[in-house]
Amino acid sequence: SLQDKNALHLYSVNGKYLGSETLKEEVSDLCVTSEYIVMGSLQGFLSIRDLYSLSLSISPLAMRLPIHCISVTKEYSHILVGLEDGKLIIVGVGKPAEV
């Protein structure tokens, strides 16, 4: 964060710079899966980005409270979101019929 500007930078395992994306929110936690970056912000948004292009996979989901922690189940079926007030929100991943 530099003067109210936040960015997500992507590097290869060998340290080669691959790209970056400017963010509107202040990231409080993130979780990296094999294909996606799941991020929570202090502004209360849950964002899912493609790991390689850093573009949004879906529009951010509003949780209405600051997000303190993010976790993805090992089957990648659910996202667990811990909010500032102590609530745990469980978000199903996939098509509505699968969730």
Each residue's pLDDT tens digit, 15-48: 999 999 999 999 999 999 989 999 999 999 999 9
Q: Could you give the number of structural domains in the chain?
A: 1
Please indicate, yes or no, if residue 21 is contained in any of the structural domains. no
Please indicate, yes or no, if residue 19 is contained in any of the structural domains. no
| Tens digits of residue pLDDT in 49-94 | 999 999 999 999 999 999 999 999 999 999 999 999 999 999 998 7
Span between the terminal Cα atoms of the chain, in Å: 36
Please indicate, yes or no, if residue 18 is contained in any of the structural domains. no
Residue 10 neighbours by CB under 8 Å, 6+ apart: 17, 18, 19, 20, 51, 52, 54
Domain residues for the domain of 49 are: 26-92
Residues linked to residue 55 through DSSP beta bridges, in sequence order: none
Please indicate, yes or no, if residue 7 is contained in any of the structural domains. no
pLDDT of residue 93: 86
Say which CATH number the domain at 71 has: 2.40.10.480
Please indicate, yes or no, if residue 80 is contained in any of the structural domains. yes
Check residue 76 and give left, alpha or beta (phi > 0: left; psi -120 to 50: alpha): left
* Owner of token pair 């969730």: 99
Please indicate, yes or no, if residue 59 is contained in any of the structural domains. yes
Q: How confident is the model at residue 1 (pLDDT cuts 50, 70, 90)?
A: very low
